Amino acid sequence: MPAPTRKVWRTRLASEQYEESLLEFLIFALYARVGEPGTLRGEGRTARFEIHKTLGGGACAAQAPLTCTLPQGRTLTHTADILVTLPRGKLLAIELKWAASELDPIKARAYDMLLLKQSLGEKLWGMLIYLRPAGGGITGEQAREICFPFDQFFAIEHQDPQNPAAWVPILDQIEKMIQQK
C-alpha cells in the first residue's frame, strides 16, 4: 500500500482540527443548556462541567474514557468525544464525526459502540453526530446504516455546522435523555 500523500495528511489534519472545534462548540452549547453555573473547567479536549441539579445532576466531560470487556476477558478503552455521567450509573456517549470520505472511521466508531453496548448494557446510550458539508464524504444515510449500534444518529448535511440552529434538535435530544436518565 503506498504511503499517504501530503494532501491526504492535510485533509486528515483539517478534519481533526474541525472536529475539535466542533467538540468545543458542542461542549459550550451543552454547558449553556444543561450545565450548573460556575462549574465549567478546561476547554476543548479537557472541558468538563457538572449537570444542573434541577436536571438530576451528573457530569459532562470531553474526551472521556469508556472501558468495555471483550468476550475473551481482555479490556478495551474507547475515548468518547463527550461523555455524560448521570446518577445511578447511566452514561450518554456522544460522538462527532466529520465527513468521512472512507468507511473505516465510521465503521470503527460503530464497532466500538457495539462492543461498549455488549459490555455496559442498558446503562449506555450512544449518539453519533455526522457532519457533512456539500459534496464531501459519504452521505448521511450511508453513515446512518453503518452506525446502527448507536441509539441516536444525527446528520448535519449541506449546512454550516457552526450555525446554532442546526444544533437545536441535537441539544433538545441530549437534554431529553439527561432528564429521562
> What is the mean pLDDT of the segment spanning 28-45?
95
**Each residue of 141-157: pLDDT tens digit?**
999 999 999 999 998 87
Confidence class for position 14, pLDDT limits 50, 70, 90: low
Q: Which three cell numbers stand for residue 19?
A: 472536529
Q: Which domains does the chain have, with CATH numbers?
A: 6-180 (3.40.91)
- The closest of 61, 62, 55 to 33, measured between CA atoms, is 55
DSSP class per residue in 112-167: HHHHHHHHHGGGEEEEEEEEE-TT-SS-HHHHHHHTTTSSEEEEEESS-TT-HHHH
| 109 touches 97 (CB < 8 A) | yes
> What is the mean pLDDT of the segment spanning 92-107?
85
| 35 touches 68 (CB < 8 A) | no
Is 50 exceeded by the pLDDT of residue 122?
A: yes
